[in-house]
A and B are shown apart, each in its own frame.
Chain A
Amino acid sequence: DTLGLGRPATEAEIKAWDLDVRPDGRGLPPGSGSVADGEELFVDYCSVCHGVFAEGVDNWPELAGGDDTLADEDPVKTVGSYWPYLSTAWDYVHRSMPYGNAQSLTHDEVYAIVAYILYSNFLVEDDFVLSHENFLEVEMPNADGFIVDDRAETEYPVFSTAPCMTDCKDSVEITMRARVLDVTPEDDSAAAPAPEPEVTQAAAPAGPDPELVAAGEKVFKRCAACHQVGEGAQNRVGPVLTGIVGQPAGAVADFRYSKALEERAEEGLIWDAETLKAFLAKPKEFLPRNKMSFPGLRKDEDLAAIVAFLQAQE
């Protein structure tokens, strides 16, 4: 019994979405990538969060190390120490990374990055090239480290007996208090109200068109995974963009720029409305080998809006 709703999916549609890769290698597209190429890609696209050696930055996941720590007090669960299947790493990098610009890597780039992650876990040598052909030859150290949920056998019988109701223990002592650690977020609802923002009346409309700025704020959502603006802004995957319009390129403190961008900065590149638009329209053409993994804004109105928004961030 069917209702005849929906329509057949085309082959191209299935190919576009059916990307998952299985532990036995099914779903892997042909391709290859070397540790050396992977290192370069990793430094550009991944190291901001995962560290140059895949060791993890701040709270971001560490991808390497942690051998023989799974039974320790704080196990370090990395691709090398924990992940049972290499297919998982390929599949995840391919479909969900880089963070903020998923599905932008070519198949060869994914092979190369996964090869580098293996290398950073000392699982392959530095001349290793990973491909669809040798994929299943890589041995994952924790492949046998998993068991299927056994709660039904080990726990449910123990936890399914009639419980004690009275005089169940001799004494009750407090053994630990949360207040000692004090990691609970402050309740700010009782805090003093924020001071009214100072309103200054501009004599003439010197700044960008407010409507365009508002439109730009929406466009900026696409940038916000990597860039911050405004009060308390910090460098993340990309540099802080407060005051970027009119600023020399490569000038944000404490940000590691690509070589390509640093070279153009030395040549005197200034981020004005025109250069920003040109860059954001086609980042890879305007600045080949720069590390911003953003494909570019297609619409002129989005380009105008984002520049207006950035102009308003002083």
Chain B
Amino acid sequence: ADDPLITEVQPWAQSFGDGVDATPYGMPIEYESDVVRRNVEWLTADTISSINFTPIHALDGTITPQGCAFERHHSGAIDLPKEDYRLMINGLVDTPLVFTYADLERFPRENHVYFCECAANTGMEWAGAQLNGAQFTHGMIHNMEYSGIPLRTLLNEAGLDAAGDLADKWVFVEGADASSNGRSIPMVKALDDVLVAFKANGEALRKEHGYPVRLVVPGWEGNMWVKWLRRVEVMDGPVESREETSKYTDVLEDGTARKWTWEMDAKSVVTSPSPQAPITHGKGPLVITGLAWSGRGSITRVDVSLDGGKNWQEARLAAPGTDKALTRFYLDHDWQGEEMLLQSRAHDSTGYVQPTKNQLREMRGLNSIYHNNGIQTWWVRETGEAENVEVS
């Protein structure tokens, strides 16, 4: 039959659209209004100290738009004008220094794309399948291009002779918000790839991501990426702050806990089809896609299984994996309406292969909360609907 959208003249083909002054800063068109961050209310006591989730089921490519990139605050997202911003470097340095935002803009800067994943991403799934949607199971992640100054540049500006042997030294980093969220980072990492960033995806950081300045700690758990960064102290040991003792430590089955579990291991998830992104087009060509990442290097390969891990095939990487950044993968499939148990399995440049959830549970028990990088399963029904399940 003739399609009236083609045979009849449509209003948008006849009259005007918006002028260039309609939206000086544009928002997504109204038809995409469901592509937003979401909160799981029962997780936390209060939205001021809480987390929401990136709608990864509805995004493609690898760069996360700032406007829907997950937020995690411990005392709310604060309003800190860049004119009022100060960064202090103190402790075991030759000269303790204070920088203004304008000072920071005068240092040589670099651009890097990195993922930031909360250590608790997928943490609700330790005891079994709980949340129905890739946004909720895997959405505590975003991936942005950061512009900023290597932390080592600022440490050198203050001078590290006073610190002596750097091998056993640390930096303590803290934010300007009421939680201050201090974390200790070994000097080796601080001097390696840590960035003091003030732009993301080309524009100023959003308030919820630490405007005007945040720390970027590539490959390491998101809690260390201190927002509203106000102080870096060179120290001869870790502070053992609340965020590195009572939180962000991983309780093992025997009750002992791992601490300093900073690195995010290789992980992947099929973002579509998935519970929030069912198949609606019937049989035939189907794009199966997802994201893979590793905090210890780059993604070299992703395998996809359609039958719950019995058989695997290599997916197509949209682009070669890069260091500590998201990689997009595709498996172009001819779907004949069969049930599928969709899984993905990431390989990284160290040779590490993403384990199953049961392999992790055998190592750690069920109480770790953090660092759950096990293989996810979506049960896709004949109807095209999908559900979060676990398989034998």
Q: B159 near A2 (CB under 8 angstroms)?
A: yes
Given contacts A18-B233, A99-B75, A147-B259, whether A185 and B391 have CB atoms under 8 Å apart is no
Q: Which of B16-48 contact A (CB under 8 A)?
A: 33-34, 38-46, 48
Residues of A contacting B237 in the complex (Cβ-Cβ under 8 angstroms): 22
Q: How far is the CB of B223 from chain A (nearest CB, A)?
A: 14
Q: Which of B351-390 contact A (CB under 8 A)?
A: 351-355, 359, 363, 366-367, 379, 387-390
Q: Residue-by-residue, is B171-215 near A (CB-CB < 8 Å gives 1, otherwise 0)?
A: 010100011101000000000000000000000000000000000
Dominant secondary structure of chain A at its interface with chain B: loop
Q: Residue-by-residue, is B239-265 near A (CB-CB < 8 Å gives 1, otherwise 0)?
A: 111100110010101111111111101
- State which of B75, B128, B309, B387 has its C-beta within 8 Å of the C-beta of A96: B75
Q: Residue-by-residue, is B159-178 near A (CB-CB < 8 Å gives 1, otherwise 0)?
A: 10000000000001010001
Q: B106 near A5 (CB under 8 angstroms)?
A: yes
The interface stretch among A149-157, A241-249, A273-281 is A149-157
Q: Is B80 at the interface (CB under 8 A from chain A)?
A: no
**A contacts with B, residue count (CB < 8 A):** 82
Given contacts A49-B45, A87-B240, A176-B129, whether A169 and B392 have CB atoms under 8 Å apart is yes
Q: A91 near B239 (CB under 8 angstroms)?
A: yes
Residues of B contacting A162 in the complex (Cβ-Cβ under 8 angstroms): 353
Q: How far is the CB of A224 from chain B (nearest CB, A)?
A: 8
Q: A1 near B156 (CB under 8 angstroms)?
A: yes
Q: Residue-by-residue, is A57-84 near B (CB-CB < 8 Å gives 1, otherwise 0)?
A: 0111000000000110111010100111
Q: Residue-by-residue, is B88-109 near A (CB-CB < 8 Å gives 1, otherwise 0)?
A: 1111000111111001001100
Residues of B contacting A71 in the complex (Cβ-Cβ under 8 angstroms): 253-255
The interface stretch among B63-71, B130-138, B283-291, B317-325 is B130-138
28 inter-chain pairs at a CB distance below 8 angstroms, sorted by A residue, are: A3-B106, A6-B103, A17-B231, A20-B239, A21-B239, A23-B240, A59-B45, A60-B45, A89-B242, A91-B241, A95-B180, A96-B242, A99-B49, A102-B75, A146-B249, A146-B256, A149-B261, A155-B355, A160-B352, A168-B311, A172-B309, A172-B310, A174-B341, A178-B275, A178-B388, A183-B40, A184-B132, A185-B136
Interface residues of A (CB under 8 A from B): 1-3, 5-9, 13-14, 17-18, 20-23, 49, 58-60, 70-71, 73-75, 77, 79, 82-85, 87-89, 91-92, 95-96, 99-100, 102-103, 145-151, 154-156, 158-169, 171-179, 181-185, 187, 189, 225, 236
Interface residues of B (CB under 8 A from A): 33-34, 38-46, 48-49, 74-76, 88-91, 95-100, 103, 106-107, 128-133, 136, 156-159, 172, 174, 178-180, 182, 230-231, 233, 237, 239-242, 245-246, 249, 251, 253-263, 265, 275-276, 303, 307-313, 341, 345, 350-355, 359, 363, 366-367, 379, 387-392
- 7 closest A-B pairs by CB: A71-B255, A70-B255, A59-B45, A172-B308, A178-B388, A102-B178, A9-B96
